[in-house]
Amino acid sequence: MVAPRRTGRGVKLAAAKAGVAAKRPVERSDQVQSLVRALNIINRLASADEGLTLGELGQQAGLSPSTAHRLLTTLEQERYVHFDAERRLWSVGVQAFVAGNAFLKTRSLVGAARAQMRALMEESGETVNLAVADQAEAIYLAQVECRQMMRAFARPGARVPLHCSSVGKALLSAISDAELTRILHQTGLPRVTIKTRNTSAALRADLQAARACGYAIDDEEHAVGLRCIAAAVFDEAADPIAAISLSGPMARIADERIPILGALVRKRADLITAQLGGHLPAWRMPPP
């Protein structure tokens, strides 16, 4: 069978279609790269309390000033970033907050925890935080500051390692040994202060103690002079989904106060669990 001869117009159409097909993967690749770069810019700005200049942002994100400026301009139009013309600084915009707040509403975790966090702050006199696990770190979602002149501060969005923070240790104490081994193998145990548990045996001993009493302790393991006490919040499958903690200087959180404060944190975490429709695991159930 003889194939029909293509006319000149047919050849041009076929060539044009082939050209479009060849360009599409390239265009999509460029779009994905731009999206990744834009998200990287937002993440860099989110980590900078005072904002960043164009040069600083380009250097941190590994972008040329022209590329960084082009992406920033697009993000600014959508209000994901904001430019302070007087200080020449870029910062996170209001739309980024709107998007992040939608996540919190979906989880309803912060709303359920807020009243219990306030009550815990009043009971303990210390700053209270709520955090969730994000891969090998804990990320703070909300904070209720105490009224003390000297107080701990961790802004929402700040991250801490799991192995040397009370919220992280509370979450680690509630997972399976296999999952714990996987996390430790992936991240190691980098030392942050001289008191950081940097061996598996030392950390596992702390986690076992946390399981026994229902709360975990950060004893200057993440910041010198600071003590934190945390307890896990559980979902309907009795899996840990968050942790609440109280934090303060060692001068106020002395050894003799730890059991009292630990019981308060555990009680408030259990009330949040109940409010979310969660269940305590068998090892966390109070004795009959």
Q: Within a domain: residue 193?
A: yes
Q: What are the tens digits of pLDDT across the range 129-163?
A: 999 998 789 999 999 987 776 556 667 778 899 99
Note whether residue 102 is domain-resident.
Answer: no
Same domain, 267 and 203: yes
pLDDT at 156: 75
pLDDT confidence of 203, banded at 50, 70, 90? very high
Phi, psi of 90 (to 5 degrees): -100, 145
Q: Can you give the CATH number for the domain in which 36 is found?
A: 1.10.10.10
Sorting pLDDT into bands at 50, 70 and 90, what band is 257? very high
Last residue of a domain, one of 50, 66, 95: 95
Q: Is residue 101 part of a domain?
A: no
Question: What is the percent of the chain where pLDDT is above 70?
Answer: 84
**Is 112 found in the same domain as 89?**
no
Question: Do 161 and 250 lie in a common domain?
Answer: yes
Task: Quick: pLDDT tens for 161-172.
Answer: 999 999 999 999
Q: Are residues 201 and 64 in the same domain?
A: no
One domain for residues 18 and 85? yes
Q: Is the domain of 151 the same as that of 20? A: no
**pLDDT grade for 1, boundaries at 50, 70 and 90:** very low
Does residue 131 form part of some domain? yes
Q: What is the mean pLDDT of residues 207-227?
A: 94
Residue 2 resides in a domain: no
Same domain, 68 and 201: no
Domain boundary among 37, 72, 95: 95
Closest to 129 in 3D by CA, of 147, 108, 114, 148: 114
Same domain, 123 and 91: no
- Are residues 202 and 78 part of one domain? no
Q: Judge whether 189 lies within some domain.
A: yes
Position 77 in a domain: yes
Quick one: 39 and 73 in the same domain?
yes
Say if residue 207 is in the same domain as residue 234.
Answer: yes
Total structural domains in the chain?
2
What's residue 150's pLDDT? 58
Per-residue b or e along 122-146, where b marks 16 or more CB atoms closer than 10 Å to that residue's CB: ebbbbbbbbbbbeeebbbbbbbbeb
Please report, for the domain that includes residue 213, its CATH number: 3.30.450.40
Written as six digits, the tokens of 121 are 């702050």
The arithmetic mean of pLDDT across residues 89-109, rounded, is 77
pLDDT interval class at 283 (50, 70, 90): confident
Classify the C-alpha dihedral 205-267-160-256 as positive or negative. Answer: negative
Q: Give the residue-averaged pLDDT of 180-191.
A: 89
Between CA 131 and CA 137, with CA 134 as vertex, the angle to 5 degrees is: 80
Alpha-carbon torsion (174, 179, 184, 186), positive or negative: negative
In a domain, residue 3? The reply is: no
On whether both 65 and 132 belong to a single domain, the answer is no
Which of the four pLDDT bands, split at 50, 70 and 90, describes residue 29? confident
Range of the domain at 62: 8-95
Domain C-terminal end among 63, 95, 127: 95
